[in-house]
Structure 1
């Protein structure tokens, strides 16, 4: 599978799709409102009976722990990984200071045992996996779809000229967006390659 931009050396040139776990990337520039939109879509997808997992890329300095808590103190003492579990929740924290970039394939493997129906991947824009692009012209950035053959649909609040085979969605139409995403697991088996060019050759 081909990629559309240069990747750090730690990022593989392809993902393994040798299973039936559907993935869908959510690609958007900062300021587009992707997290707010996902907050509104996830409950609707859950109402459709879909078990949803989300993998989100974050800046290297993030921390979900709280200073002073036992888990934080044990991590500071050298525990890695650190797993905290209760009846209601499990949190696994690992230190990865030597990595240039998070390994998406490894992260997918971590959520796989929970048997989600669909994994939404926020961030990881350079990785070769099918994507839904969210686009608002007022953000002042360029569309990715023309350069990224993995984009399968664009949700926007303005009319756009899109490449052949790319679905146009209204970013403000939650019903239509829910319908499109809910149907993705059924399309997954035939969606594990980039879009093809008009000549029938794989897109560059």
Structure 2
């Protein structure tokens, strides 16, 4: 069974990663096990040239699994295959209580839209992007929206909203 998912979306440089990290800290502090999914640029790389895992991947390994006593990671090269669909990525989430997804603004799952003064765009996404159910803003009193509006710094209130919206069991 897939764990509940909730997204944080917004325009570039709106603070998506900052809010996502703060929500992860809030939920883990409440005892939830959280998986984070982040949409990255096409050519991102988590590996370093010259490292053993990089050499194995560059040699042609489709998958490189790294393991240590503290963590493990799986890198999968797509080569000419299309990007992995979100549903297949979510199958890799493991045994967690919640998946927080940064980005994927066009995918149909519930999301909070970040609106920040001075961001890359002032054009709201709500109404054009599917399933935006709340707004997080640095100027909540100025938002004229029918959706619930939270201050960006109200991480506890945002976490309460997400937990209630998803009907998460108390951790």
TM-score of the superposed pair, with normalisation by structure 2: 0.87
- Hey, which bits of structure 1, 4+ residues long, moved more than 6 A? none
SS in 2 for 1:132: strand
Give the counterpart of 2:115 among 118, 135, 160.
135
Q: Which residue of 2 aligns with 1:123?
A: 103
In the alignment, structure 1 residue 162 sits paired with structure 2 residue 145: yes
Tell me, what secondary structure is at the counterpart of 2:167?
helix
Q: Which of 32, 50, 55 matches 1:68?
A: 50
Q: Distance in 1 between matches of 2:144 and 2:79?
A: 42
Paired residues of 1:53 and 1:120 also in contact (CA < 8 A): yes
Distance in structure 2 (CA, Å) of the matches to 1:25 and 1:103:
16
TM-score, normalised on structure 1? 0.74
Determine the C-alpha separation between the residues in 1 that align with 2:165 and 2:33. Answer: 13
15, 21, 39: which one aligns with 2:21: 39
Structure 1 residues 87 and 187, CA, compared in 2 at 3 Å: closer, same or farther?
A: closer
**Does the aligned pair in 2 maintain the 1:45–1:178 contact within 8 Å?**
yes
| Alpha-carbon shift at residue 79 of structure 1 (Å) | 0.8
Aligned to 2:126: 145
RMSD: 1.9
Deviation sequence 1:174-201 (CA, Å, 0-9, x none): 221232233343169xxxxxxxxxxxxx
- In structure 1, the residue corresponding to 2:149 is in which secondary structure? strand
2:118 match: secondary structure: helix
